[in-house]
Amino acid sequence: MDSIRSWWERYSFQTVVVTAGIGLAWFIRQTQGVAIMETYQFLSRPFQSSVSKQELLQDAQVRELRYRLTELESQNQRMKELLKVRANPKDVGVWATVIGRGADSWWNQILIGKGSNDGIKSGAVVVAPGGLVGRVTHVSPNSSQILLISDPNSQVGVVVSRSRFSGMLKGQSQNTATLDFFERDPDVKVGDIVHTSQFSTLFPENVPVGRIKSINLDKQPAPEAIVEFSTPLGLLDYVEVYPFQERL
């Protein structure tokens, strides 16, 4: 008994402190620290800003409106750029928003929010800022599916603007395509502009396609070039669709 009393007299303070600490930790864990947060709010209230909740809400609304205005200005700029791109000024195009594209077919096809109810038909040509995008392959009353020129199944007859040498453009599922020339020794340079050929059966002539990025004149059986698309196919928001009759 004397030994217990002696131990208590010696370690009573440490025991009380440890017990209180364990109890406080258990309490904080059980209440998720709510009590501490309330105590902090009470003690810091005299030092907090006197801005009312209503003013904070108004500031948030002003910021939201500012963000919306920025987005509208961006969309307006894109629409202005679209208006400058017309494959044939005689044709009346239909403006449409891109409403879908799959992660596994990002460079293959897109879905737009206009269809047969808007006069769109299969085979229609699609352009965007920069030039050619693709052609309509399937149409429903309110949407249309577009095969992009970056799809490996897509083939476009093109010509080099400077030298008039022709070839066949094939997609690579990215923002570049391969151009196989018909001639064995074509006059082509890096930076040359490429557009659709007058011999293309699926697209009208003189629609911008891209720029020569690299050349391999030793490729067999025909020289090959890499063409970088002038239209950012991976970032499409709006496109223009206009009718085109496939040439036989």
Which CATH number among 2.40.170.20, 1.10.10.10, 2.40.10.340, 3.90.850.10 corresponds to the domain 85-248?
Answer: 2.40.10.340
Whether the Cβ atoms of residue 216 and residue 187 lie closer than 8 Å to each other: no
For the full predicted model, state whether its pTM sits above 0.85. Answer: no
- Output Rg (C-alpha) for the chain, integer angstroms: 33
Domain range summary for the chain, segments of one domain joined by +:
2-47, 85-248
Sequence letter at residue 90 = K
Contacts of residue 241, defined as CB under 8 A and 6 or more positions apart, other chains included, come to: 93, 94, 95, 96, 112, 114, 120, 124, 125, 126, 136, 144
Q: How far apart are CA 111 and CA 133, in angstroms?
A: 12
Please give the Cα distance from 198 to 191 (Å, whole number): 21
Residues 96-130 have pLDDT tens digits of: 999 998 878 889 999 999 999 999 999 999 998 88
Angle between the N-to-C axes of helices 2-31 and 34-44, in degrees from 0 to 180, rounded to the nearest 10: 80
Tens of pLDDT along 23-81? 666 665 655 555 555 565 555 555 555 556 566 566 656 665 665 666 566 666 655 66
